[in-house]
Amino acid sequence: MPHVDFFDMIRVMSEKYERLREARISAGFRSASAAADALGVSASTYRAHENGQNNFELEEAQVYAKRFDADAIYIMTGSPSGNVLNLSSPSRIESPNATILNKLSGYGRSIPVYGQAVGGVDGEFEMNGNILYEVMAPPVLSHVSNAYAVSVSGDSMSPRYDDGETCFIDPTRRVKKGDYVIAQIRLEENGPLLAFVKRFVRHNAEELVLEQYNPPKTLKFEAGTVHSVHYIALSGNA
C-alpha cells in the first residue's frame, strides 16, 4: 500500500480551494459573489468553500464544475478524471500498518480579525490592536503561528475584495509584484498605524508603491513610514 504523508494530504486539500478559484475565474466570473448568484447558492457558502474555511466534497465539486465547465475530479485531486483509479472496482484490502503518533497541534485554532467599521478615503483603517472577533484559521494558515485576519473597509479594492470581506494574512510569506497585501503605514512620527489592503507593485529603499482598483489609483509611501507589508493568503466571508 503506498504511503500517504499527512502533510501531503493537507497540501492537496489546500490546493483544491485554489483550483476551485481558478475554475471560477476561467469561467468568466470575476468575483465569488457573481459565481454564487449563478450557482444559486449563498455568497457566504461559496466563499467559504473557495477560501478553504469550510471543506467541500465531490458532490459539491460536481455542481461547481458543471457551472464552470471544469473537471470535478481535477478540482478535488489535481489529476484529470482519466488518471484516477476506478473506485468502484473491488480490490484486496490490506491490513492496517499505521502507527499512532502524538496529537498534531495547530489545526482547528482561532485567529484574530482586526479592523474598524468605517475606513478612510482609500479604505485604510487604524491598526490599533482592536480585535473585532475571532475566526477559525483556514487549513493553509493553521500552521502559521502569527497568522491573523482583517476586515475590509469600503470598496476601494472592489471587485477583488468587497466591503466587510475577511482577508486572511500570512506574515511569513515573501511578497512579490502582483500579490495582494496589507501594508501598515505610520504617516506621522507619533501617529497611528494605518492599514491598507491593496495590490503590491514594489518596495525598495526609497518607497512602497501599491495599486488600488476603485477608483484606479497608485499609492506611494516613503520607505521610512512603512511598518510592515504582509501577504493576503485568501479571503472570504467569515
Q: What is the pLDDT of residues 105-148, one digit of tens each?
A: 445 689 999 987 556 778 888 888 888 899 988 888 988 989 99
Average pLDDT over residues 42-69: 87
Contacts 24+ apart (CB under 8 A), 55-58: 55/13, 56/20
Q: Which of 44-53, 160-169, 172-181 has the highest mean pLDDT?
A: 172-181
Looking at the predicted structure, is the pLDDT value of residue 84 above 80? no
Distance CA 116, CA 14 (A): 29
Give the residue, 222 or 95, on which the prediction is more confident: 222
Domains in the chain (CATH in brackets) are: 6-83 (1.10.260.40), 110-236 (2.10.109.10)
Inform me whether the pLDDT recorded for 176 exceeds 70: yes
- Binned at pLDDT 50, 70 and 90, residue 104 comes out as very low
pLDDT > 90: what percent of the chain? 40
- Model confidence at 69: pLDDT above 50: yes
pTM exceeds 0.85, yes or no = no
Q: How confident is the model at residue 87 (pLDDT cuts 50, 70, 90)?
A: very low
184 — pLDDT class (breaks 50, 70, 90): very high
Q: Within a 10 A sphere around the Cβ of 28, how many other Cβ atoms?
A: 11
Written as nine digits, the cell of 53 is 474555511
Can you give the pLDDT at residue 1? 43
pLDDT, the chain, mean: 83
Most confident range (mean pLDDT) of 77-86, 105-114, 176-185 is: 176-185
pLDDT at 44: 83
> What count of other Cβ atoms lies within 10 Å of the Cβ of residue 234?
24
- The whole-number pLDDT of residue 2 equals 46
- Which pLDDT score, from 0 to 100, does residue 6 have? 42
**Distance between CA atoms of residues 104 and 218, nearest Å:** 44
From 221, 214, 211, 156, select the one nearest 184 (Cα to Cα): 221
Predicted confidence at residue 209, as pLDDT, reads 97
Taking 50 as the threshold, does the pLDDT of residue 35 lie above it?
Answer: yes
pLDDT value, residue 229: 96
